[in-house]
Structure 1
């Protein structure tokens, strides 16, 4: 498995369409990591290896949801996010408290741009304190750091 992650990191660095010049800044904060498309992809690959990819997918879906401008699109997207990540037994159910889950469930019929804010903050906090420190020590991040100048 270790070799696979390293190979994946090298492939990511060599074939990524996104600039990875700011790899060093990823280690400064999770915000820096998530503000960069390449960082999001690398973190997602790491989370996939830990079987917790739903966290970043939910966070990214919430970020896209906040950009919605029409009510029909908001309703459609809110229902997709709910069905995929929030609803009990959903395929990629995120780990949020029951009160937050119930609140979203009760209000999903009339969503607004803030419908998922509390849940998104919970998942961000979980990633920041739990997954992110492990990512920084991971073979994938270390391989990306080592290979960043070899393109």
Structure 2
């Protein structure tokens, strides 16, 4: 059931043109599990170029101070490089996107399937 809700939330974000938020958050979760330094550097740079840098293809909505701090430290990334940005994006989703998701037709149809089955 968690994966169904996860996919539904991702689909909802896609419909609102804000799918980059969940994709960034998930990329950060995977990033924090990396044990190999060279893999960490490659992945940090991929996350940075895909989500963080100005004009990134899936640029996330974070404040310029957080973006500047990541940019300054991207040449020497560590497992906490994206923590501040990840917390900001989580809080944005929790405050803004998730309440709308709970009212959405996508979510309501899942509830109907789960609870109206006779």
Query: Which residue matches 2:11?
Result: 45
Query: Which residue matches 1:99?
Result: 65
- The answer for unaligned runs of 5 or more in structure 1 is 1-19, 21-35
**What is the Cα-based RMSD across aligned positions, in Å?**
1.2
**Correspondence for 2:50 among 80, 84, 88:** 84
Give the Cα separation in 1 of the matches to 2:82 and 2:55: 18
Whose relative contact order is higher, 1 or 2, with alpha carbons under 8 Å and at least 6 apart?
1
Q: Could you say what secondary structure the match of 1:127 adopts?
A: helix
CA displacement, residues 44-77 of structure 1 (integer Å, 9 cap, x when unaligned): 0000010100000000000000110100110011
TM-score by length of 2: 0.95
TM-score by length of 1: 0.75
- The answer for unaligned runs of 5 or more in structure 2 is none
Give the Cα separation in 2 of the matches to 1:115 and 1:126: 19
Give the Cα separation in 2 of the matches to 1:139 and 1:126: 21
Q: How many residues align?
A: 117
